[in-house]
Amino acid sequence: MADKVGDSGDVVKRKISSFVFWNQTRVFILALSLTCLTLTQINSQIFTFTVICMDDLIVENQMSNATEPHWIEGTTEKSILFSATAIGALVGLIPSVPLLNRLGVRLTLSVCGLCSTLGTFFTPLAVSWSFYLVVVCRVLQGLGISVILTVLGVIPTSWSPKSEYSTYLAILSCAWQFSNVIFMPISGILCDSEYGWRSIYYTFGVLTGFFYFIFYMFYTDAPGVHRNVSEKELGQIKEGKTDHAIRETVPYKRICTDPCVLAAWISFLGGNLGFITLLLYGPTYLREVLNFDVRSTGYINALPYALCAIYKFSAGKISDRIKFASDKTIYTFWLFSSIIGLSIGYCIMAWTTDRNIAFVAFAFAIVTSGLIIMASVKCLAMRCQQHCHFAVSTVSFLSYCVQFISPLGVGILCPDNTPEQWSRAFLLITGIMILTNAPFPFLTTQEAAEYTKHKKSPMGEFSEKV
């Protein structure tokens, strides 16, 4: 037992378990959170791979003497299914800020995990029944990812020591990379096996439900109320942090008119367009344009994401150790190294006709893209402090808008998946990335905004939630 000061100012006894994970409970929280976010992201992406190995549906449709082609053959239907996840994410994002304020990360993220589990596990059944039921499953998968970017900003703020923030954020944001590293090779193997593409949905549906149950049972929204956090570790987590325990109204207008925040949002919008296009259409580009087979597509699409995860971890670790450069210098370097890398990769893919060179450029673009989210979240977290959950929620909104619009744009620009069509798309995206990121170094700052200054609410209420 240990003493802590409660909301009323009274001394309350903390219940501490005899097992405290060697004063590293925050590391277990990191691993568990990363696993859950990765599985949720996997579920939202499974269709982007299985769409290239669902030919059995076409054969079954022909054998049944159907008069209409199967919906899997239609470009419009596939674009709708690609975008349906973004629709679900946008719907789930709308109430996410008040839900996180009221219910916290633990309950909100667990409900999202349940939606993702159901949408994934029942997709094979939905495919055999109706196209519209598949849309529903994709929307459920979208609900699952609706708060990923938001909790990406909240969990490190709550659980990581200030000296480990960049590393914690870098590892947690690897969910996008790990999702591809894990599910792409597995999907390639299962698609070519006797179990087929349906087994992919069942496998990840069960795994998602299992790990989110563990998350719900173990995670807490504040380290101070976790029974496995020792006093020593709690002191490490709190050291150097500003106390924002008082509940405050989010200054929505002031955040939305802050030039620093606006620059970060616009920058992310362009950079994320480059990343999301590769994320959604990587398998299609490798299979249809570069002519890799299904199993090879799974393996080679996973490779650059594995390298990207290593790159992000190294960047976070180095950033925590750098003392001679300001935080703004660090996150600006993160951003521009990603944008320049993406632009180079896109331009080479647009101009080359050599398959091997195109793949190297594809891999290079993915590897260097990994620091975009880290730069945006760190900039917003430093500027908005206790209100960063709203600022990062807007980043989520922009991400899902891109995820919704990108398939529609690709459907218009690349209806036949020819190299010439993809070249035009790549050059257009490159131009958008450069234009949207140009203002970032001039308008952003590492200083906390005036609206983050400590204020007491009119009701005098106190809370431990971040």
Give the model's confidence band at 96: pLDDT under 50 very low, under 70 low, under 90 confident, else very high.
Answer: confident
What mean pLDDT comes out for the span 141-150? 89
Cα–Cα distance, 93 to 151 (Å, whole number): 12
Asked if residues 143 and 84 have their Cβ atoms less than 8 Å apart, the reply is no
The answer to whether the CB of 385 falls within 8 A of the CB of 453 is: no
What is the distance, to the nearest Å, from the Cα of residue 436 to the centroid of all Cα atoms in its chain? 20
Nearest partner of 175 among 36, 357, 6, judged by Cα:
36
* 159 close to 26: Cβ distance less than 8 angstroms: yes
- Give pLDDT, residue 31: 95
In this prediction, residue 458 has a pLDDT band, given cuts at 50, 70 and 90, of very low
Alpha carbons 300 and 49: distance in angstroms, whole number: 13
Average pLDDT over residues 119-143: 93
State the pLDDT at residue 203: 94
Element (H, E) at 11: strand 11-14
Q: How many other C-beta atoms can be found within 10 angstroms of the C-beta atom of residue 356?
A: 9
Domain parsing of the chain, residue ranges: 19-452
Tell me the pTM.
Answer: 0.75
pLDDT (average), residues 80-85: 86
Determine the CATH number of domain 19-452.
1.20.1250.20
Arithmetic mean of pLDDT over the chain: 84
- Alpha-helix residue ranges (DSSP H) falling in 2-144: 25-50, 55-63, 75-93, 96-121, 123-129, 131-144
Reported as a single tens digit per residue, the pLDDT across 387-400 is: 877 888 888 888 88
Q: Is the distance from CB of 183 to CB of 300 less than 8 angstroms?
A: no
Q: What is the pLDDT of residue 241?
A: 67
Please report, rounded to a whole number, the percentage of residues in the chain having pLDDT higher than 90: 31
Q: Which residue has the higher pLDDT, 99 or 243?
A: 99
* pLDDT tens string 17-56: 888 889 889 999 999 999 999 999 999 988 888 887 877 7
How buried is 62 (Cβ within 10 angstroms: 0-12 exposed, 13-18 middle, 19+ buried)? exposed
CA 154/CA 5 separation, integer angstroms: 23
pLDDT at 10: 43
Residue 4 tokens, joined:
């802590």
Other beta carbons within 10 Å of 174: 26
Mean pLDDT of 378-385: 87
Number of helices (H), then strands (E), belonging to the chain: the values are 20, 2
pLDDT given at position 351: 92
Label residues 191-206 b or e (16+ Cβ within 10 Å = b): beeeeebbbbbbbbbe
Where b means 16+ CB within 10 Å and e means fewer, 389-418 reads bbbbbbbbbbbbbbbbebbebbbeebeeee
The label of the residue with tokens 């802590």 reads 4
For 288-292, 313-317, 359-363, 456-460, which range has the lowest pLDDT when averaged over its residues?
456-460
Tell me the chain's radius of gyration from C-alpha atoms: 23
Amino acid (one-letter) located at 237: I
